[in-house]
Chains A and B, each alone.
Chain A
Amino acid sequence: MEVIYMLIGFSLIVALIFLALFIWAVKSGQFDDQYTPSLRVLFDNKKSTKQTNNNKNRDE
């Protein structure tokens, strides 16, 4: 049954990795702007022509 301590250890390590990532993400400004990232993903500034350009529903 002692293996549960090991699993808690591994779970904690994973959680700590995510905590470190979280702290890094906050510090590096990942979450300073909580609006434009969601818009920017929609824009493909590539030159190739797309067949389904449907801009009429864009509400910004």
Chain B
Amino acid sequence: MSSLETFHYDNETVRKFGIATILWGLIGFIVGLTIALKLIWPDFLGFIPELSYGRLRPLHTNAVIFAFAGNAIFYGVYYSLPRLCKTSMWSRKLSDIHFWGWQAIIVSAVLTLPFGFNTSKEYAELEWPIDIAITIIWVIFGINMIMTIMKRREKHLYVAIWFYIATFVTVAVLHVVNSFEMPATFLKSYPVYAGVQDALVQWWYGHNAVAFFLTTPFLGIMYYFIPKAANRPIFSYRLSIVHFWSLIFIYIWAGPHHLLYTALPGWAQALGTVFSLMLIAPSWGGMLNGLLTLRGAWDKVREDPVLKFLVVGVTAYGMVTFEGPMLSIANVNAIAHYSDYIIGHVHNGALLWNGGLTFAMLYYITPRIYKTKLYSVKLANVHFWFATMGAVFYVIPMYWGGITQSLMWKEFTSEGLLQYPNFLETVTQIIPMYALRAVGGTLFIIGATIGSYNLYKTARQGSFEADEVDEAQPIIDPASGHKESWHRRLEGRPLQLTALTLVVILIGGIVEYVPTALVKSNVPTIASVKPYTPLEIEGRDIYIAEGCNNCHSQMIRPFRSETERYGEYSKAGEFVYDHPFLWGSKRTGPDLHRIGGKYPDSWHVRHMYDPTSTSPGSIMPAYPWMFTDDMDKESIPNRINALRKVGVPYAEGYEDLAIRDLEAQAEQITRSLHENGFGQIDGIEITSDKQIIAIIAYMQRLGIDIQGNVNPWENLPSSDRIRANFTPQQEDE
């Protein structure tokens, strides 16, 4: 104990992340409850565009994942990492930039998603300028973390730190790869990948966002806070190491299990399934390691709300990671996918695993940095029970409703007909379950509000310690005698130099490979599949802006129950011009891939204005603003250009003709509506420059190309010039 060094822990940053966690958490939960109520009463809050289901749903998921869980991760890291490394964070300035940058990103999400600016890619909905900001802030966090680790005073990197490192590395790669997109305007972009490719990249990202944003950082948190709260070492440190390395090696491959029975090649589906099944071993290893830490200390769990939340969190983690591999088995997936079962599955994880660990942290850290005791243990217990019962009331109805609905989709009569040919029957059946879910969500929010009050009172009664003093000995590194520049040292190590060179080459290779791979794959495999017309692009972009893909899939799986209900199953070659893919992940409404030509235009007019007029009892929201809002013609040339750059074969110079084509096609649709007595609805004149016309054009185009007998470009003014410029493969039918 000779040469002790004194240093400070920055509790101010920790405190700020804690407050942000609570505030964004409450907002995220309330938005979630709002959309839950909208599934019971579609007219709840009226039909305001910014508050419609399709626009609020991504706001809810982003708020809970990146604002609530995200801030909670940083809260845990900024508290535990310096203490584990026996040093202060490397740069206070970077901590500050990280905190405010992250909050600014969240605010920009709040300012874009409800206004219809989204990419439609689940959990990656934010548009390209925000994507770039996320990358920068994430790297700043990574630099701060890694530099802190570099100058630690503790030689051993405790297992929690390993989880933090894995989180940083993998999320960076996932986010960057999934965000390759071509900007068309300031807030509109198209992914460079199309169709099947886009789906694969998205679910590689989506799955690993769950893995490396909602799992590994929280496992790190678990490995720090359970031992601290229980005041006993982790059950097996050896197991925690095995757990870590096996988990991160396996997780990254499991993404394709989100695409079972889709147009993804079978071998990729099989790969995803195998790795997903293997995941159960490391997941349960970690879960048991956490719970077994408490053997002999369960008396403490009875008293300490921190441990209660940790225990219920880890238990939920065990349940969810059992379900995950099971849901990856093709036959189980065939029942659960697209149903509410998955919503229950993710909320089991989100409410109890992420929520439980987050509240445990808040109850653990707050009294410590405020140098006081928890204001009320009793209130914390009340919170615990509200949270647990809330989750139970949420999750069980969703499981029940999901399986009910899925079985109804698949039920045939003895004559071989669909038992429930009307999709709506399968929705109205589970509305009581939606109501119970809303009850669960309400309970959870009440609990969180009580918890916030308790934490506020705790802070008020304590005195905040912004800089906490600690002291430790520096690491004595025997090799630190002579100092050389890093490059000089590297030159003396040919093997390492080669490895690094290889990495640099790989990066260059990837940058070149991306466009190459994409151009090649854009050769259509189905000759009759053509690019969208300008009006259909506008309709598709409105579809994306309104978040229709949150409720409607565009992927008919090769099951008899689906081909019977929707028509010919979806083929990979049909999606080659789909930037982004819109297969959806949940069916609250029916699949739309073969909706083209199924109903007359006038049906769509009535359906969009008031869904219950065509489908009594429907819980789809109405879209009256599509009848009064103008479509965006000005940016059509930019969008044509952007789509051409990612491989859609629009002829050079077509952007100049595009608006004329758009107007001509819109005029045709409007005229035929007027001829059929739909010149107006509810006193609103239907004119050719309104959004409804574009959405009709898109709907009527969906899934018809494969028939090979319709050419949507035929009646457009520039069809001759387009014909001359399309490549021969697209030309002949």
Contact = CB atoms under 8 A, between A and B. Distances in A.
B166 interface: yes
Interface residues of A, number: 46
B156 A30 contact: yes
Contacts of A25: 157, 162
A27 B228 CA distance: 28
B79 interface: no
B248 interface: yes
B49 to A, nearest CB: 34
Nearest to B516: A2
B506 A13 contact: yes
B84 A46 contact: no
A55 B300 CA distance: 12
A59 B296 contact: yes
B232 A57 contact: yes
B233 A39 contact: yes
Nearest to A32: B156
A50 B368 contact: yes
B472 A45 contact: yes
A7 B265 contact: no
Contact of A11 (B166, B252, B368, B517): B252
Given A4-B268, A40-B156, A46 B252 contact: no
B252 A5 contact: no
A13 B155 CA distance: 27
Contacts of B627: none
Contacts of B162: 25
Interface string B229-267: 011111001101100010011001100000000000100
A14 B231 contact: no
Contact of A58 (B224, B231, B517): B231
B248 A18 contact: yes
B196 A1 contact: yes
Interface residues of B, number: 65
A13 B177 CA distance: 12
Contacts of A46: 468-471
A12 to B, nearest CB: 9
B644 interface: no
A11 B201 CA distance: 11
Interface string A11-41: 1011101101110010001110111111111
A20 B472 CA distance: 29
Nearest to A9: B510
Contacts of B197: 1-4
A1 B237 CA distance: 42
A46 B467 CA distance: 12
A48 B468 contact: yes
B520 A2 contact: yes
Given A2-B520, A3-B518, A58 B204 contact: no
A39 B443 CA distance: 38
A51 B367 contact: yes
Given A18-B166, A25-B157, A42-B227, 17 more contacts: A1-B521, A1-B572, A2-B520, A6-B177, A6-B514, A25-B162, A29-B155, A30-B157, A38-B227, A38-B237, A38-B240, A45-B470, A46-B469, A51-B372, A51-B373, A52-B373, A57-B296
16 contacts: A1-B572, A3-B197, A3-B518, A4-B197, A5-B517, A10-B177, A17-B169, A33-B156, A35-B233, A38-B233, A41-B84, A46-B471, A47-B469, A47-B471, A48-B469, A57-B230
